[in-house]
């Protein structure tokens, strides 16, 4: 708990246990959570008392660091009733592993869908370490996941590339990718423990746009746009959305 008795926010991050795990931990914990090497080069499973800060708020949170040998078994454990209490207190989950496109391998999409179905109102990121999967393929996977793997709770996994082979900053939809996209997701998540503290900067500028609302509306618009098959209807919808955001940002 926090000093005032409120429940502390918690994020679970899990790494595939292989010969690259030390480098992956240092990179992800450093780039996403801004932790220095002193906090990334040890075997502690819980890093307590961290602060996540944006222009608009800051929260205190604990970071749970886990590893797994078998992703399928790890998913089954986390989905089980034995872990109900843990899932309840989490704000979100980040999995670092290699995504496979091979049909004879485990059905990762099925596992991701099952895990997403029990993560109501939590963010869920799968960070792919497979260099052979391009950003365009990742975008296609996320489009499929948004429509096929969304659970009754409206929760779906977002797959994000760990490696930026092409040195891109944005994907084909002009969205952030890589570590910056992970940070953006956390910025706009529903923190499980609540207890957001508005920053001084946000208080001083009350006319700033509500970024969370903007991101959510953009996501909804993108999904609807992808479902429209007629090209003229697509262009009309894109124009309507453009005008909507122009008015919103005035």
CATH numeric code, 9-198: 3.40.50.11960
Give yes or no for residue 163 having a pLDDT over 60: yes
Q: What are the start-end ranges of the E strands in the chain?
A: 9-16, 46-53, 57-68, 90-97, 123-128, 158-161, 197-198
Nearest to 7 by CA among 128, 91, 118: 91
The stretch 17-29 carries a mean pLDDT of 93
End-to-end CA distance of the chain: 41
HSE, side-chain direction, 13 A CA sphere, residue 162: 23
- Rounded to whole angstroms, the Cα distance separating 32 from 35 reads 8
Highest mean pLDDT among 174-178, 220-224, 227-231: 174-178
Q: Which segment of 64-78, 83-97, 194-208 scores lowest on mean pLDDT?
A: 194-208
Instruction: Name the residue ranges covered by the structural domains of the chain.
Output: 9-198, 209-248
Q: Which segment of 30-34, 202-206, 244-248 scores lowest on mean pLDDT?
A: 202-206
Structure confidence at residue 174 as a pLDDT band (50, 70, 90): confident
Percent of the chain past pLDDT 70, that is, above it, reads 76
The stretch 138-150 carries a mean pLDDT of 70
Cross-strand pairs, 94: 13, 125
């Amino acid at each position: 708990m926090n000093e005032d008795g409120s429940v502390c926010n918690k994020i679970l991050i899990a790494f595939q246990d292989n010969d690259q795990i030390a480098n992956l931990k240092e990179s992800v914990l450093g780039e996403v959570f801004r932790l220095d090497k002193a906090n990334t080069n040890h075997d502690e499973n819980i890093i307590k008392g961290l602060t996540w800060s944006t222009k608009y708020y800051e929260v205190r949170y604990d970071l749970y660091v886990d590893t797994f040998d078998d992703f399928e078994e790890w998913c089954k454990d986390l989905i089980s009733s034995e872990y109900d209490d843990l899932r309840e207190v989490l704000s979100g989950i980040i999995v670092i592993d290699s995504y496979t496109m091979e049909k004879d391998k485990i059905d990762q999409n099925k596992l991701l869908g099952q895990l997403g179905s029990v993560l109501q109102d939590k963010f869920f990121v799968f960070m792919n370490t497979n260099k052979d999967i391009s950003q365009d393929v990742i975008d296609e996977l996320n489009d499929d996941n948004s429509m096929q793997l969304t659970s009754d709770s409206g929760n779906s996994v977002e797959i994000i590339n760990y490696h930026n082979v092409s040195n891109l900053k944005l994907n084909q939809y002009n969205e952030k990718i890589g570590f910056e996209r992970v940070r953006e997701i956390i910025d706009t998540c529903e923190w499980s423990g609540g207890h957001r503290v508005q920053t001084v900067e946000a208080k001083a500028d009350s006319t700033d746009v509500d970024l969370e609302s903007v991101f959510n509306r953009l996501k909804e618009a993108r999904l609807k746009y992808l479902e429209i098959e007629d090209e003229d209807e697509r262009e009309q919808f894109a124009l309507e959305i453009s005008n909507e955001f122009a008015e919103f940002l005035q």
